[in-house]
């Protein structure tokens, strides 16, 4: 298998010969990892259940975790899932990599589509599945919404979309998501939405593809799946708690596959995750921090406050050179947008004019970094 280097490897290579300005404290705004303490009640539950390390976890997930995740979906999206319509997972990265391999294994010459720019695991999954890749471009001309080409989509076996979107911060409305559900039903492709940023919204709640499926009349979620994670919403990426939910017929067979993968979460982690999925106060507190960071960015850089995520997708002149200059002169790391996208059939990379900035620090550190970015832009 010939995988592309990860974006952070490319960034390290870009900056390897640069000595940053030591007059500034280092600031890394590259990785989407919340830089806040995991709430104490989650940590305490983990410690209280450490004795469960002596037991093997079930691949299907413990009952308390399954119930907590189903409760989250019902409370947040108004969708009541049956038990067979959800599977707890070890985060979502492993699902996004192995689910396409499971789904496409018996299909001759499969085609997999995904939004571009993208989370690179989608591309890795396509490579591992020996699938033809179709890039669904998102750029300024369409307000970073996915372009719909029915002729191309009709040839697809699996389509992965990602809303709220990493890295562009764009969102789709319920009706827009429902249009994708209808396309899935019309052309019989499996549609999966990566919803890991659904809880990091600034004002209005962001809809789920599950809601859109119900709205479109697809009450059994035929060919419809979502993944979600606790990592962003609870500042707990180390818990590795996620789920895949939707079409029970697909999930029934995928569950068999997962028994061979061997990626069940340890029981103490499941216990801690179950209380985190049930509690919303700490999530609201995190949202306020991210919204305040976006307000700082608007004040300092003049950027608009996006509807969701904690990313700024900032257009700059010559992003690669800007990234190097920002690191050398101001000791701030950001990620060039072209590392998060690929050239389309026309040879155009929709990320080439942008940088991604992850606003995952506290107010003081965020303000300092944004001021330095502004000075560098000037």
The verdict on residue 1 lying in a domain is no
Give the per-residue pLDDT at 324. Answer: 98
- Same domain (yes/no): 94, 184: yes
- Same domain (yes/no): 238, 361: no
Structure tokens of 346?
């026309």
Strand partners, 314: 355
- Same domain (yes/no): 28, 107: no
The verdict on residue 44 lying in a domain is no
Nearest to 243 by CA among 74, 73, 100: 73
The verdict on residue 42 lying in a domain is no
Say whether pLDDT at 1 is over 90.
no
CATH code where residue 308 lies: 3.90.1150.10
- Same domain (yes/no): 286, 275: no
Give the per-residue pLDDT at 346. Answer: 82
What average pLDDT does range 70-88 have in this prediction? 98
pLDDT tens, residue by residue, 310-323: 999 999 999 999 99
pLDDT tens, residue by residue, 38-58: 999 999 999 999 999 999 999
Domain endpoint, select from 230, 248, 279: 279
Three-class secondary structure of residue 335 per DSSP = strand
Residue 30 sits in which domain range?
7-37+282-377
At 108, the pLDDT band (50, 70, 90 cuts) reads very high
Structure tokens of 117?
């720019």
The verdict on residue 107 lying in a domain is yes
- Same domain (yes/no): 264, 289: no
The verdict on residue 294 lying in a domain is yes
Give the per-residue pLDDT at 344. Answer: 84
What average pLDDT does range 86-93 have in this prediction? 97
- Same domain (yes/no): 254, 355: no
List all residues 6 or more positions away from 129 whose beta carbon is below 8 Å from its beta carbon: 100, 101, 104, 105, 110, 112
Strands 132-137 and 111-116 turn out to be: parallel
What percent of the chain has a predicted confidence (pLDDT) above 90? 96
Structure tokens of 195?
């919803």
- pTM summary value: 0.96
Nearest to 233 by CA among 91, 330, 26, 367: 91
DSSP secondary structure string for all residues of 74-93: HHHH-----GGGEEEEETTH
The verdict on residue 253 lying in a domain is yes
- Same domain (yes/no): 341, 230: no
Start-to-end Cα distance in the chain:
43
What percent of the chain has a predicted confidence (pLDDT) above 70? 100
- Same domain (yes/no): 320, 290: yes
Q: How many domains does the chain have?
A: 2
Domain endpoint, select from 221, 248, 279: 279
Which residue, chain included where needed, has tokens 């921090």?
289
The verdict on residue 335 lying in a domain is yes
Domain endpoint, select from 254, 279, 304: 279
Give the per-residue pLDDT at 116. Answer: 96
At 2, the pLDDT band (50, 70, 90 cuts) reads confident
At 142, the pLDDT band (50, 70, 90 cuts) reads confident
Task: List the beta strands (DSSP E) in the chain.
Answer: 27-28, 86-90, 111-116, 132-137, 158-161, 190-194, 224-229, 241-246, 311-315, 332-333, 335-336, 354-358
- Same domain (yes/no): 153, 264: yes
What average pLDDT does range 266-276 have in this prediction? 98
- Same domain (yes/no): 229, 317: no
pLDDT tens, residue by residue, 356-370: 999 999 999 999 999
In this structure, of 107-121, 279-293, 311-325, 336-350, the range with the lowest mean pLDDT score is 336-350
Give the per-residue pLDDT at 141. Answer: 87
| Residue 195 region by backbone torsions, left for phi larger than 0, else alpha for psi between -120 and 50, else beta | alpha
- Same domain (yes/no): 220, 125: yes
Three-class secondary structure of residue 313 per DSSP = strand
CATH code where residue 158 lies: 3.40.640.10
- Same domain (yes/no): 269, 297: no
What average pLDDT does range 67-92 have in this prediction? 98
The verdict on residue 101 lying in a domain is yes
Give the per-residue pLDDT at 222. Answer: 98
């Amino acid at each position: 298998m010939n995988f592309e280097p990860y974006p952070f490897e490319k960034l390290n290579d870009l900056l390897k010969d640069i000595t940053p300005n030591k007059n500034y404290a280092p600031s890394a705004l590259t990785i989407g990892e919340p830089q806040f303490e995991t709430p104490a009640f989650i940590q305490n539950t983990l410690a209280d259940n450490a004795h469960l390390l002596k037991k093997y976890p079930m691949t299907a997930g413990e009952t308390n975790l399954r119930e907590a995740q189903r409760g989250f979906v019902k409370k947040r999206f108004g969708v009541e899932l049956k038990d067979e319509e959800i599977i707890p997972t070890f985060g979502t990265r492993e699902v996004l990599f192995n689910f396409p391999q499971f789904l496409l294994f018996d299909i001759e010459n499969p085609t997999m589509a995904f939004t571009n720019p993208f989370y690179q695991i989608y591309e890795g999954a396509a490579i591992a599945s020996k699938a033809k890749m179709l890039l669904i471009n998102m750029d300024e001309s369409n307000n970073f919404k996915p372009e719909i080409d029915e002729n191309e989509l009709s040839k697809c076996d699996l389509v992965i979309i990602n809303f709220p979107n990493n890295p562009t911060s764009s969102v789709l409305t319920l009706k827009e998501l429902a249009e994708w559900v209808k396309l899935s039903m019309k052309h019989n492709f499996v549609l999966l939405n990566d919803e890991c940023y659904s809880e990091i919204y600034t004002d209005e709640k962001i809809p789920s593809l599950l809601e859109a499926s119900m709205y479109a009349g697809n009450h059994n979620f035929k060919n419809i799946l979502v993944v979600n994670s606790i990592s962003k919403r609870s500042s707990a990426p180390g818990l590795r708690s996620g789920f895949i939910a939707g079409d029970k017929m697909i999930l029934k067979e995928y569950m068999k596959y997962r028994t061979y993968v061997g990626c069940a979460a340890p029981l103490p982690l499941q216990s801690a995750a179950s209380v985190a999925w049930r509690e919303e106060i700490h999530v609201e507190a995190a949202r306020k921090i991210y919204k305040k960071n976006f307000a700082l960015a608007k004040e300092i850089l003049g950027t608009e406050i996006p509807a969701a995520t904690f990313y700024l997708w900032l257009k700059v002149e010559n992003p690669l050179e800007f990234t190097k200059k920002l690191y050398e002169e101001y000791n701030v790391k950001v990620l060039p947008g072209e590392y998060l996208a690929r050239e389309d059939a026309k040879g155009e990379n929709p990320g080439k004019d942008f940088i991604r900035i992850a606003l995952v620090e506290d107010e003081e550190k965020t303000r300092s970094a944004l001021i330095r970015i502004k000075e560098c832009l000037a």
